[in-house]
Structure 1
Amino acid sequence: MKISKLLSSLVSIALFVSIAGCQNVDEKTAQADFDAFMEQEFIDTVESDYLTYKTLIDDPEQYDINVEEIEVNLGERLDPENYEDLMSESNESYEEFKSFDYDSLSEEQKDVYDAYAYMMRIDEALCDKKFWYYTPYFESMSGLHYQLPTLFADWQVDNEQEVQEMILLVEDVLDYVNGAIEYTKKQEEMGLLMIDIDEVLNYCQNIIDTAQDSAVLSAMKETIQSLGLSNEVDYIAQLEDAFYNSFIPAYENIIAMLNEFSQSAQNNEQGLASFENGKEYFEILIKQNTGLDKDPLEIKEMMEDAYQDHILSLQVYAYSNPDAVNTFIQGTMPETGFNSYEEILEFAKQNLVNDFPEVNDLEYEIKDVNEQIASDTGVAAYFKVPTLDGNEKKQLRVNPKGSDISSIDTYMTVCHEGFPGHMYQYGYMYENVSSNLIKGLAQFNAYTEGYAVYAQYEALDYLTDIDPNLLTLYAENEQASYCAIVAADIGIHYEGYTLEQFTDYMSQSGFALDEDSAKALYAQLQANPAVFEPYYVGNEVIQDLKESAQEKLGEDFTDKGFNQAILECGNMPFEVVQRHVDSYALGNVQA
């Protein structure tokens, strides 16, 4: 009997080892297959779009990218009739993706899985036929007309072939924009037009008025001239021909469309809630632009609660620091003492090491934005996202004629775009996240922008020569303002606020706007649904995660540990970021 039991035990052990070994092999196989699938998704996406390829890749061979597959143009034509074919291809990938066993994946792969699934659900919802003509291509703050000048002014070429490709892109502008115009006219026919005609018209007219001395054309000429090609003159002639026969006519056509609309268009001057399926469409936009699986009213309640918290902080600081309040109310904020953008970046770079994890490569350069382009866009500074595999320094583009360098506003902008904001954020992600899809293609603006807003407020602590109470008042007031604006945006697009209702809501929130200011802010929000949500919902989520971690850890909480937790997963929906913060709070930070 003893022998029998022993044999039975040995058989059981052998069987267990066999099964465990099989599971390990199966897990390794599943994980390898998952990585291969995600890498192929990355490659397929890059090969399908020239702009994506040029933005992300220096050496295509490193990624097995077939450049012969990439057509040099501005992208797919804007024709909803193609959506079904595109969705069919996407659905095939999605079905293959769903075949992976989640539990067999590594922790990092589970992050990637959740991010990919989130993006696919959004894409699937937006491609529903009832939303085919809901996408606005001429939003006043970020529309196609606004993006093209910056795209071409920033375009860099390293060899003769890239010069030829740049010229092909300029030649493609007219056809591409005409597609957007036809789409927008169809929107108008269907009663789905929602555009700030005057704002877009003014911007486009300025492009036409400055055509003979165009900053965009000058910037492209300069990048060609930097190569010292023997046939430089020929290429510049080709570029000018493309610019004046494609780029400029495209803007003339936009103006013609807008003038036509201003005469007789059915233009919705309220929010998305006015459209038949507008509220449902806005629900998807909210999920896309917040990285949260919440409906608009939940987000509105969240932002109203955050607003109350900021107001309470303001009241507490105001009561105990009357001198700081007087300075703040008078608008006489002290200066930082910086004399250049570089001084600000170096200062922030030196200070962030105490609160943020180490990044090996934080080399950077600062380049001026062409003054005309900077004036047109109103941008003080922005971070140019580097390629995944390049050796170039991280680049901050700045307005040489921008606002006062020594102002706190300028300091905040540079910290948002530079250190410890985007420039640091991407440096960390490129060094610590392995998934190319997450680094290059993930679309979670609430994470990237929310982090940068959070980082800019963190950087106020470095200004030790300025009264910290005054800086707190500044930060709390600004955050309260944007919480109210985001809540009002949801009111416009989900609850159907009229201008009068919007003005009343802002007044009840403590912002007494005069008639012109109310009209301007309402028009901006109405024409750009969910435009501020990524920045300020994202910031509030991160602030809430930090507060929660502080409560759980008490004295064991560190800024550096928390910041590593929110950075280590890369560009993700907040459900994934939450997991990493929870792990940190439990004392088990994931590598």
Structure 2
Amino acid sequence: MPPPAAARSLEASPDEQPSEDARLARLFADDARREDALDPLDALYRGARPDPAMLAQLYTDTLDDRLLASAEESLRALGEIDRAKLSPGSQISYDVFARSKEEQAEWLQPALRSLTAVRPFNHFGGLHVEFSSLMSSEGAIRFDSEADYRDALVLDGAFGKVLDNAIARFRQGMASGVVETKVTTRNMIAQLDAMTAQAPEQSPFYSPVLKFPASMPEPRRAQLREAYAAVIRETIYPAYGRLRRFLADEYLPAARDQVGISAMKQGTELYVELIKRETTLELDPEKVHALGLSEVARIQREMDGVRREMAFSGNLRAFFDYIRTDPQFHPKTAQELADGFAAVAKQVDAQIPRFFLKVPRTPLLIQPYPAFRAKYEAGASYNQGASDGSRPGIFYFNTYDLPSRFLTGMTTLYLHEGIPGHHFQISLAQEDTSLPSFQRFEGNNAFVEGWALYAETLGYAMGFYKDPRQHWGTLDDEMLRAMRLVVDTGIHAEGWTRDQSIDYMLANSGMGRSDATAEVERYIAMPGQALSYKIGAMTIQRLRAKAESALGPKFDIRQFHQQVLGSGALPLPVLEAKIDRWIEAGR
């Protein structure tokens, strides 16, 4: 099989000037080599084993300065590339890469680092919790040989230094007046208590030595079991203890009472920057808040229509309770869920040729979460497959606490997490070897989650939401994303309290209090992140409407979806420019 065009051009003779596309490809490769060496966490997520010394530099100015220098070097090299001489596909890659490196350099500047680096993690997705999963037997790294076990043990040993670095960063924030909220700090303390309440042999860090390759002799197994227990007992748990004491005794008294980031030093300006980072758009918080209120009102009107269609005589709030409590809307057995999702998948597969020209090679499995995971997981999620198709994608559904699961949301859940949502978007990108690796494997939340939420709306054209129960399910799902626009901006720009935010979500949806509380505390910990879902979906819907209007009878939904998905997860302005060019060519 001949090498791709970009590779062939790099093999040109010394007398030939490489094409602009080849120079750009070389720049991408140089950047990837530097970034791989400077990103130990990304290596772990990919199943590689980073340098333990580099891992121990997490949460330090030394590592941040090296990352900033790398981004600035790539931007200088990019400035020497003539974009006008690039092929259309390479122009898109140029634009994505430029935005990525500009954003990386901006967030590593001292001004923004002084507001973000000094809050190294929080209770939502914090490394103090995630690292144990990364290093467990269920993580991405493989344990195939004794060397694998020894290498992982060294990384475990470096984790104590990482937590000490985090303490130093938190202290810097205390000195400058840039601190987390008391709500978030208490949640982190509770997480640390839960982690250290486990005996070392019950810790996720110990799980790799509960199962060994058959070829490993028993004396080696015994040595490794003792070594893993020792590193947990003597290094990891003492580091957790230091972090826990610091948070409880020093940090919590200094933490913010007000939950909105606008109450933090320079928080108002930071929130605007966070919205830009999370949505890839420059948006005014007040306008986002107003948009959210408008969307909540629209969805409530549609919900009320479903209430009448189902002949329920009470008001909408009573209908929420009816759906939440009546057994007919909840599965009685795990098999009922399995059969239901299988039926939905079959119906969706029959509709796909009407909406897509290209489908992934990677197959999709539908299966329940393993029992040990189910209690702590969402109603469903997606686990991506291998880029070469050797490992399938998996649509996981949750069978824990069946009375809390909804039959009404099955269609919209499958469209979002499975086909044509995350499975199509992620698989098509990573299977496309013509794209640079950052377009195949990276992206932004506004596109990734925006596409998945947009995919739910295809259920209308596919005819699935003629069933009022499934129509209710997709409206309930969309309502959560609309409320996020209101509540996130309410907390961080409008001065809303935690309780006020929870009450708003309870009043406008069928959520339970525990779910609403978890959602609100997520928004408190991660300002702006929750806006990306609805903003991304509405952008794709707006671009589709623009194309339909401009192209009229020439509009082909399959071609539109190919344009949206065909270049990886693009920043929304880059996506819009691509669609505009496609519309102009189609005229």
1:61 matched to which residue of 2? Answer: none
Q: Contact 2:479–2:509 at 8 Å: present in 1 too?
A: no
Aligned pairs, how many?
552
Native 8 Å contact 1:149 1:216 kept in 2: yes
207, 225, 232: which one pairs with 2:221? 232
Mapped contact 2:262–2:492 kept (Cα < 8 A): yes
Is the deviation greater in 109-118 or in 230-239?
230-239
2:436 is equivalent to residue 436 of structure 1: yes
Please state whether the residue corresponding to 1:134 is helix, strand or coil: helix
| CA displacement at 1:290 relative to structure 2 | 0.6
Q: 1:513 to 1:232 in 2, by over 3 A?
A: closer
Residue 540 of structure 2 corresponds to which residue in structure 1? Answer: 542
Match of 2:129 among 122, 125, 146: 146
From 21, 24, 37, the counterpart of 1:47? 37
Tell me the amino acid that sits aligned with residue 229 of structure 1.
M
| Structure-2 change in CA distance of 1:168 and 1:207 (3 Å) | same
SS in 1 for 2:495: coil
Match of 2:163 in 1: 177
Q: Which moved more, 1:421-430 or 1:550-559?
A: 550-559
* Structure 2 residue 152 is matched with structure 1 residue 166: yes
Which piece of structure 1 moves more, 389-398 or 125-134? 389-398
Cα deviation, residue 394, structure 1 = 3.0
Q: Which has the higher contact order (CA 8 A, sep 6+)?
A: 1
Are 1:382 and 2:381 counterparts? yes
Instruction: Say if 1:73 and 1:168, in contact at 8 Å, map to a contact too.
Output: no
Q: CA deviation at 1:574?
A: 0.7
- Confirm whether residue 209 of structure 1 aligns to residue 197 of structure 2: yes
Q: State whether residues 74 and 172 of structure 1, in contact with CA within 8 Å, keep that contact through their aligned partners in structure 2.
A: yes
Retained in 2: the 8 A contact 1:444–1:573? yes
Question: Alignment partner for residue 197 of structure 1, among 185, 192, 210?
Answer: 185
Kindly indicate whether residue 244 of structure 2 is the aligned counterpart of residue 252 of structure 1: no
What is aligned with 1:86?
67
Identity of aligned residues (%): 17
Alpha carbons 1:273, 1:279 under 8 Å: kept: yes
Q: Note the residue ranges of structure 2 that are not aligned, 5 or more in a row.
A: 1-14
Q: Distance in 2 between matches of 1:517 and 1:133?
A: 33
Residue type at the aligned position of 1:140: H
Q: TM-score, normalised by structure 2?
A: 0.80
Q: Conserved in 2, the CA contact under 8 Å of 1:197 and 1:258?
A: yes
In the alignment, is the contact (CA less than 8 A) between 1:87 and 1:127 conserved in 2? yes
8 Å CA contact retained: 2:395, 2:418: yes
Q: Secondary structure at the match of 1:383?
A: strand
Match of 2:452 in 1: 452
2:426 corresponding residue in structure 1 = 426
Tell me the amino acid that sits aligned with residue 255 of structure 1.
Answer: R
What is the alpha-carbon distance in structure 1 between the residues aligned to residue 62 and residue 127 of structure 2? 20
Q: What CA distance in whole angstroms lies between the structure 1 residues aligned with 2:351 and 2:51? A: 41
Amino acid at match of 2:125: S
Query: Cα distance 1:83–1:145, how it changes in 2: closer, same or farther (>3 A)?
Result: closer
Q: Offset of 1:493 from its aligned partner?
A: 1.7
Q: CA deviation at 1:444?
A: 1.0
CA RMSD of aligned residues (A): 3.9
Cα offset, 1:267, TM superposition: 2.7
Bigger Rg, which one? 1
Partner of 1:493: 492
**CA contact under 8 A between 1:449 and 1:535: conserved in structure 2?**
yes
Q: Cα offset for 1:552?
A: 3.7
Which SS does the other structure have where 1:419 is aligned?
A: coil
Q: Deviations along 1:562-584, whole A, 9 cap, x unmatched?
A: 32221112111011222343355
Does the 8 Å contact 1:177/1:250 carry over to 2? yes
The residue identity in structure 2 corresponding to 1:239 is Y
Matches within 5 A, 1:338-357: 338-339=337-338, 343=342, 346-347=345-346, 350-351=349-350, 353-354=352-353, 355-357=355-357
* Residue in 1 that maps onto 2:91: 110
Q: Which residue of 2 aligns with 1:484?
A: 483
Q: 1:245 to 1:436 in 2, by over 3 A?
A: farther
C-alpha contact 1:351 1:462 (8 A) present in aligned 2: no
CA deviation map 1:123-151 (0-9, x unaligned): 23222323324223332222223322332
> C-alpha deviations, 1:68-99, integer Å up to 9, x for none?
x9557646420236534432332122111122
Show CA shifts across 1:309-359 (max 9, x none). 434544555566645989766204646853269737853763463333433
- Kept in 1: contact 2:345–2:414 (CA 8 A): no
SS, match of residue 419 in structure 2: coil
